[in-house]
Chains A and B, each alone.
Chain A
Amino acid sequence: MSNITQKGSDEAEFAKPLYTPIKRRSFFMYAGATAGATALLLSGCDDDDDSVTTPSGTVNLGMGDVGVLNYAYALEQLEAAFYAQVVSNSSFSTTFSNADERTALMAIAKHEAIHRDFFKAAITQAASSQIIPGLNPDFSKVNFSDRNSVLTTAKTFEDLGVAAYNGAGALIQNVTYLGIAGKIVSVEARHAAYIRDLLSNGTFADNTTVDTNGLDKAMTVAQVLTAAQPFIKETINGDNVGK
């Protein structure tokens, strides 16, 4: 196994199957049939985790279903980091003077943290070599002591999350993963409706998010990442998500 730790083209060639994202069915076959070999290879590659992070700070979400899972993980990381900062802000109880609102925001913070931790666990379980790293959020444009700034940003994230899951559903090949996306997206929609009503009661599903056919938004990966990118320090590449 010594050649695994060698730098250079040999290593790149040898490790290629690992770094090539694997599509749904073949992935599970692969994971089962070659689990032993894979484990050996991975143990040899432990400190060589640049398969997803390039030196320039670009994070590649990968291909196929794993790409979709990483995409969801990236967005949930962003939401979780945002709400964690909202509820831990020293002026949280004065920015949000209503105790019911604080209770709800703390619950949302937990939900998003659970989603983030769930995806981390699920991707680690399914494709540990392909999980993206923890991302560094950029909330420099958010004033966490200003109710309107916090809620407007929350609305952006929640509506974006809903549109992202709605758009990604048809990219998912594995029915179990599709089901999990469905379980999460309706909770994000509940969050979105609540946050919108806090900003202006009755806007839970107004015509800025629901069209004349009664449909919520569905956005492509590229559209979502364009909207999310200003809040993430790393550059996210989602070109092959679901492909």
Chain B
Amino acid sequence: MNLFQIIAELEKVDPEIADRLSHRRSALTALGNFGKKMALAAAPIAIGSAFNKAVGQNTLTAVNDVLNYALLLERLEYSFYNQALSAPTLAANLTSGSAARGAIETIRTHELAHVNLLKAALGSAAAAEPTFDFGTAFSTYPTFLTFAQAFEDTGVRAYKGQAGNIPRTLNPTVGGTQVNLLTVALQIHSVEARHAAHVRYMRRGAAAGAQTSIMPWIVNAEANGAPSAVYGAGNPQANFPAENNLAQGGISSLLTGLGTTYTDADVSAAFDEPLDNTTVTAIARSAAKF
């Protein structure tokens, strides 16, 4: 987690919002003073949680900020698959003509299309492209697929977490065609979920790590070897619950509140959960340097 980066991002937030939310400004000031008095790197978690509690979760407000956030995640995913497809360590598993290589190529094609679409939507407001270092993610085939699952499931949660930040009446012209931005975001979101489902099933293979009971959907908050934060709660927890959440839409427990008895596993799997951008970015930075 790069705290300086997150603070820098927050400072870029629409000044009107900062004015409206005076407690946010004072939280920033407090954080600034705190930062001067001690080495930030020595206590990132303490500061991070204080920051989250004071300011909240989704620090993105302007639509371009949301789009650049999506662009960053899509670039990360595209780079991840692009690097994987040429990684010598994965060549034996991603052989030309194999179902596995075909699936990863399909996913890479979609991620690139998402990158290009978001760049077109942002125009000159598109952020510069970082370089991504995925460390040991490609060391083995099972490791690669575990990372892939983490990125896809996180991507699904990330888009879901921004749905309320995209005005439903925003209809910009992208590439000569007028589109509804919220609809486009939803159309990307469900493609990421399809990717996640397939990658999860790829992990069942003997050479892929033999996760023989993994499902295409998320059961409880089971991470299956991925970082637990991918399936954990965001901030605030009430808005961004962990994937094992059993309460929806004012019904406190779907186990018993629906007139028939369902299991935790089925109820949790029937609903995916959103995640705030601060938590998503922290997860991404724990998995890749950029």
Q: Which residues of A contact B (CB under 8 A)?
A: 104, 107, 110-111, 113-115, 117-118, 120-122, 125, 162, 165-167, 169-173, 175-180, 182-194, 197, 201-202, 204-206, 210, 212-218
Bound-state Cα–Cα, A215 to B265, Å: 30
- A–B pairs, 17, beta carbons within 8 Å: A111-B269, A114-B254, A114-B267, A120-B258, A122-B248, A165-B186, A169-B182, A179-B274, A186-B190, A187-B193, A187-B271, A191-B197, A193-B216, A194-B201, A205-B106, A210-B191, A214-B191
How far apart sit A107 and B216, CA to CA, in the bound complex (Å)?
11
| Tally of B interface residues using CB under 8 Å | 61
**CB distance B248 to A205 under 8 Å?**
no
Q: Encode contact with A along B195-219: 1 for CB under 8 Å, 0 otherwise.
A: 1111001000000000000011100
- Provide the residues of chain B in CB contact with A173, threshold 8 Å: 168
Nearest 10 CB-CB pairings of A with B: A214-B113, A189-B193, A193-B197, A117-B258, A186-B193, A215-B187, A110-B266, A193-B194, A190-B197, A189-B190
Residues of B within 8 A of A117 (CB): 254, 258-260
Tell me if B229 is interfacial: C-beta within 8 Å of chain A: no
Which B residues are within 8 Å of any A CB, using their own CB? Answer: 99, 102-103, 106-107, 109-114, 116-117, 156, 159-160, 163-164, 168-169, 180, 182-184, 186-198, 201, 215-217, 248-251, 254, 257-260, 262-263, 265-267, 269-274
> Given A182-B189, A189-B193, is A205 in contact with B160 using a C-beta cutoff of 8 Å?
no
Nearest CB in chain B to that of A114: its residue:
B270
Chain A interface mostly helix, strand, loop or mixed?
helix
Tell which of B99, B159, B196 touches A190, judged by Cβ atoms closer than 8 Å. B196
Measured CB to CB, the closest approach of chain A to B73, in angstroms, equals 13
Closest to A106 in B: B266
Is A166's CB under 8 angstroms from B271's CB? no
> What chain A residues lie within 8 Å of B163 (beta carbons)?
169, 175, 178-179, 182
